[in-house]
Structure 1
Amino acid sequence: MRERRLAAELRRLRESSAVTLEEAAERLGWSKTKLSRIENVLRRVAVPEVQGLLDLYGVAGGRRDALIAFARTARQRDWWDTEPLRTDYATYIGLEAESEALSCYSMGVIHGLLQTEEYARHIIRAALMRFKPPAEVDRRVAVRAARQAVLTERDQPLRFWSIIDEAVLDREIGGKEVMQAQYKRLLELAELPNVMLQVMPASVGAHPGVIGSFSILQFPEQYFPNVVYVESMTGALYIEDEGQVHTHTLAFEQMQATALSPDDSTALLARRAGR
């Protein structure tokens, strides 16, 4: 994941400096194929090569230092690298683990970071359409549970803001007992200082999120752009274009203003949980 982000930033720097792939390769004494493979994460890039690229693109000061420091850790392996995960899912877990803040709108199901194991089990089993054995379902539930460590076990826990469509709370995943436990789990997480929950009531009608769920991931390195993540049944879309990320950010801000306040949202959840 780190290598993917580094490669994407090196490509963005080249394009913003108005240097073509051919020109950059020629000035560094490389083949065009070598640079293309670096930018497409098909070849690992060494730190001295990163330094040469940054020199060519005129990157200096703190930005240069941060990118070189990031390049030194680009090959670091994480727990999800040892799991047999679909590539786009492993990519998302890496982004989620490295982000400092995550804002999401959930239209179909509760976000994975907020799910109980039983809720997750029913979601995963349904998504697999019973084509996988129970052991595979258990493994995927365990992966989802491991992801949740970002909320409580990091030195700087993830700042997580979730807007949940009211229809998600009405959808009886796994039956009443599973949903009751899920409501209680949401209330517990809402007490964390780094977690903010809002419910988008059905009475609002049309709003920017009616088109579908999305997540915005923000990173601590100021030189890496935010990423919008949109999931589908068979894959995922990662949006890094600055204008499109800005559009999603504006949409989320409008939805924050439209949804129930955090206090009113937890009151609604408490009523559903029977408190």
Structure 2
Amino acid sequence: MAGRRTPTIRLRRLAAELRRLRVAAQLTVEAVTEATGLDQSSLYRIERAQNKPQRRTVTTLLQLYQVDRERQATLLGWLKESGQTGWFQVYEPYLPEQYQAYVAFEHEAERLKNYESLFVPGLLQTAEYAHAVIADADAGRSLKADDVQRRVDVRMQRQSVLSRPVPMQLHAVVDEAAIRRTVGGAEVMRAQLTHLVKASSLPNVRLQVVPFAAGAHPGMPGSFVVMDFADPFDAPLVYVDGIAGDAFLETEEDVARFARTFDLIAQAALSETQSRKLIQEAARAA
């Protein structure tokens, strides 16, 4: 299923900066289109990273916004780099557009906070566990065997962010339900829990479990991810996934709200040492 190509993080960065510069110049969309001849729909798509603009269009906008030459060179560099995609490009025809976007942003993220209520986080899944989750939990989507395997392959490849030269800093918090629920059978689950214990010893991975004994807690409404990026021009993102669909939230208010919620969930969770002990006990019982 081919769809519109997902914007790269560089194109998203350029779009956000062009929008910020227009607002800083106190120019409306109508004023820009009148001054440049660019139609409103095109400017709308450029500022939302839905279209990759031509170099002359970006130059015209930057001159209108009275951006200095050095800054112009930086932004035009972003435009040049905006066509660069990652390893996941080969999978784009087979993945939903929102998931493509998630993989692209995750690939660029410096820090990721992930709360999961029912599943082991994707970055910490084994291939067998991932296959069971995708094939069974997503059964309503009627995925073909080849599509299931492609998604498993993508999930495994995504995990390279944890072992790259400058690894992602991952803080994962899971509800005890994700640890206790047998997914894929006892052997698969036991291997998954053993893998979690091993992964939790990595210096860039923090793993906590919210025990059943904690009772009601702020994470009960559902799972979410908060992404932070190294470049200050890349604003944090929140990703929420559910049966009704998935969505990205980018406003400062939404990001701050989910970041606070994550901190509250982490406070309700066991310490990393206690969490590792609980997972080890669950593995022995599986």
The CA deviation at 1:144 is 0.9
Q: Is the 8 A contact 2:122 2:155 kept in 1?
A: yes
Q: Is the 8 A contact 1:26 1:32 kept in 2?
A: no
Q: Is the 8 A contact 1:102 1:215 kept in 2?
A: yes
Q: Does 1:243 align with 2:253?
A: yes
**Aligned to 1:119, which of 101, 109, 129?**
129
Alignment of structure 1 residues 1-275 onto 2, 5 Å: 1-2=7-8, 3-15=11-23, 17-57=25-65, 67-83=75-91, 84-126=94-136, 127-129=138-140, 131-152=142-163, 154-233=164-243, 235-274=245-284
The CA deviation at 1:170 is 1.3
The CA deviation at 1:128 is 3.1
The CA deviation at 1:37 is 3.0
What percent of counterpart residues are identical? 37
Give the alignment's TM-score, normalised by structure 1. 0.90
The CA deviation at 1:254 is 1.8
User: SS state of the match for residue 220, structure 2?
Assistant: helix
The CA deviation at 1:79 is 2.0
Query: 222-231 vs 48-57, which deviates more?
Result: 48-57
Amino acid across the alignment from 2:161: V
Q: Is the 8 A contact 1:93 1:147 kept in 2?
A: yes
Amino acid across the alignment from 2:190: Q
Query: 157-166 vs 128-137, which deviates more?
Result: 128-137
Q: Cα–Cα, structure 1 residues 52 and 168, in superposed 2: closer, same or farther, change >3 Å?
A: same
Distance in structure 1 (CA, Å) of the matches to 2:195 and 2:70: 42
User: SS state of the match for residue 147, structure 2?
Assistant: helix
List alignment gaps of at least 5 residues for structure 1.
none
List alignment gaps of at least 5 residues for structure 2.
1-6
**Once superposed, what is the RMSD of the aligned Cα atoms?**
2.4
Distance in structure 1 (CA, Å) of the matches to 2:114 and 2:70: 31
CA deviation vs aligned residue, 1:19-47 (integer Å, no higher than 9, x gap): 21111222334332331232244431234
Distance in structure 2 (CA, Å) of the matches to 1:232 and 1:185: 25
Q: Is the 8 A contact 1:165 1:201 kept in 2?
A: yes
